[in-house]
């Protein structure tokens, strides 16, 4: 689904009032009864019903009359609430082109009033489940529409808290600017995901830097858990930035060792295949058992023992223990689904595009895989002209 963000400019105060009422109703209703929306919105003369029709026309809400006359927000409706809030706060003033489609997110460029371009990540938890629905319809039918809104908000909150803490501790991550609902605003990384890079001047150095990051994270008490060529950005000077943090866990997590080893293995595998890692490094990884031998891969157990407490600091920040538990549940559930998914179309499996390389800057870039079609695109009309919004 594509809808012009332009529509946002033509939505009235009442439209937002009713949209917000639907959001509030969703705290304890999967489908919010129209009467409840009306009561929360408090518009005179049945105004709510007229507004709901307008919101429906713009695909900001979904109408469901199966059990009773009710409505729920669509992702687009949720997007608009977050965007409106952030525009009102003066965080940005316009939305530009889409720059990324992740497994469970859409990323857009946004610009501030003074023209600074930032990145906006809209979390879309449940998207991977939507894909799996065809094979597990019954099992997922319940989860499908239930708490995606809450989980997406949690994912954004967690990503923002982690990005901020990691940045404060000197990790190369985007600067965390602001967060609202399922939306995170961060600095725009000048570079490309490593998966698109065909050639490096110094692959060994980049490899060491990346592996060093996994180790340093663990020394601070954290594991990325999705540390691969899709979540590592690299610029023309071969400077590395890591992104994508909603799935990070503490080194105390019960599966910490497995997550850590998997992150390390991903890097080895990718560098061996794409950059033909130097023979010296290949030898290092040949002893595939993880042990304490200095010449082999980093040992998780020795790091874990000496790990710092950034994980605890984070638990004390905006992202609470309860929320962490909820997120972990979702991550675990997803991991189980992925591993049981035979026809998995996960990003990692996709090695396509090897032949379609183009040269940009000093890096050789492969054409971006466009196989992933978002179910809900907050579109920029395919034009390079950003849509500008006024504050209330």
Distances from the Cα of 169 to the Cα of 108, 186, 308, 340, angstroms: 26, 17, 12, 37
> Nearest approach, Cβ of 188 to ligand ADP (angstroms)?
5
> Nearest approach, Cβ of 223 to ligand ADP (angstroms)?
16
If we measure between CA atoms, which residue out of 73, 320, 102, 94 comes closest to residue 195? 102
Question: Of residues 180, 231, 250, 334, which one binds Mg ion by CB under 5 A?
Answer: 231
Q: How far is CA 59 from the centre of its chain?
A: 23
Structure tokens at 2: 């594509």
Using the minimum distance from each CB to ligand ADP, give the nearer residue, 119 or 154. 119
Strand order, beta sheet including 61-64: 32-33, 70-73, 61-64
Residue 86 binds ligand ADP (CB under 6 A): no
Residues from 206 through 265 that contact ligand ADP (CB under 6 A): 230-231, 243-244
Site size for ligand ADP (CB under 6 A): 18
Calpha distance 244→10 (Å, rounded): 33
Choose one: 75-83, 141-149, 181-189, 271-279; the region binding ligand ADP (CB under 6 A).
181-189
Does residue 226 carry a catalytic annotation? yes
Residue 57, C-beta contacts closer than 8 angstroms, at least 6 positions apart: none
> Nearest approach, Cβ of 230 to Mg ion (angstroms)?
5
Give the side-chain half-sphere CA count within 13 A for 302. Answer: 9
Residue 111 binds ligand ADP (CB under 6 A): no
Using the minimum distance from each CB to ligand ADP, give the nearer residue, 38 or 244. 244
Structure tokens at 226: 């999705």
Choose one: 18-26, 85-93, 182-190, 253-261; the region binding ligand ADP (CB under 6 A).
182-190
If we measure between CA atoms, which residue out of 113, 141, 111, 114 comes closest to residue 126? 141
Question: Of residues 60, 125, 154, 186, which one binds ligand ADP by CB under 6 A?
Answer: 186
Residue 159 binds Mg ion (CB under 5 A): no
The CB density around residue 72, as the number of other CB atoms within 10 Å, is 20
Question: Of residues 96, 126, 174, 203, which one binds ligand ADP by CB under 6 A?
Answer: 174
Residue 102 binds Mg ion (CB under 5 A): yes
Question: Of residues 106, 244, 263, 337, which one binds Mg ion by CB under 5 A?
Answer: 244
Q: Which residues of the chain form contacts with Mg ion (CB under 5 A)? A: 102, 230-231, 244
């Amino acid at each position: 689904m594509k809808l012009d963000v332009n529509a946002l400019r033509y939505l009235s105060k009442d439209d937002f009032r009713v949209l917000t009422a639907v959001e509030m109703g969703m705290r304890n209703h999967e489908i919010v009864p129209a009467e409840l929306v009306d009561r929360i919105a408090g518009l005179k003369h049945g105004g709510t019903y007229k507004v709901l029709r307008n919101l429906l026309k713009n695909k900001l809400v979904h109408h469901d009359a199966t059990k009773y006359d009710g409505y729920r927000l669509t992702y687009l409706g949720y997007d608009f609430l977050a965007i409106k809030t952030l525009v009102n706060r003066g965080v940005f003033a316009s939305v530009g082109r889409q720059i990324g489609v992740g497994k469970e997110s859409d990323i857009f460029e946004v610009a501030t009033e003074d023209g600074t371009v930032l990145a906006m990540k809209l979390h879309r938890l449940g998207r991977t489940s939507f894909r799996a629905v065809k094979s597990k319809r019954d099992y997922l039918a319940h989860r499908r529409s239930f708490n995606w809104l809450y989980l997406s908000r949690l994912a954004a909150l967690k990503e923002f808290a982690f990005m901020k803490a990691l940045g404060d501790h000197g990790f190369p991550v985007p600067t965390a600017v602001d967060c609202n609902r399922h939306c995170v605003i961060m600095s725009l990384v000048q570079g490309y995901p490593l998966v698109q890079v065909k050639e490096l001047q110094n692959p060994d150095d980049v490899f060491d830097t990346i592996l060093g990051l996994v180790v340093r994270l663990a020394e601070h008490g954290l594991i990325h858990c999705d540390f691969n060529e899709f979540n590592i950005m690299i610029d023309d000077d071969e400077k590395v930035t890591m992104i994508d943090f909603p799935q990070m866990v503490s080194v105390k997590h019960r599966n910490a060792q497995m997550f850590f080893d998997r992150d390390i293995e991903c890097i080895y595998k990718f560098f061996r295949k794409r950059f033909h890692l130097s023979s010296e490094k290949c030898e290092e990884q040949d002893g595939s058992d993880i042990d304490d031998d200095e010449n082999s891969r980093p040992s998780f157990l020795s790091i874990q023992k000496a790990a710092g407490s950034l994980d605890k600091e984070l638990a004390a920040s905006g992202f609470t223990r309860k929320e962490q538990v909820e997120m972990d549940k979702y991550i675990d559930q997803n991991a189980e689904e992925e591993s049981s998914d035979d026809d998995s179309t996960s990003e990692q499996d996709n090695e396509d595009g090897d032949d379609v390389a183009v040269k940009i800057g000093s890096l050789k870039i492969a054409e971006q895989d466009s196989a992933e079609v978002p179910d809900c695109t907050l579109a920029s009309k395919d034009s390079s002209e950003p849509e500008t919004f006024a504050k209330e």
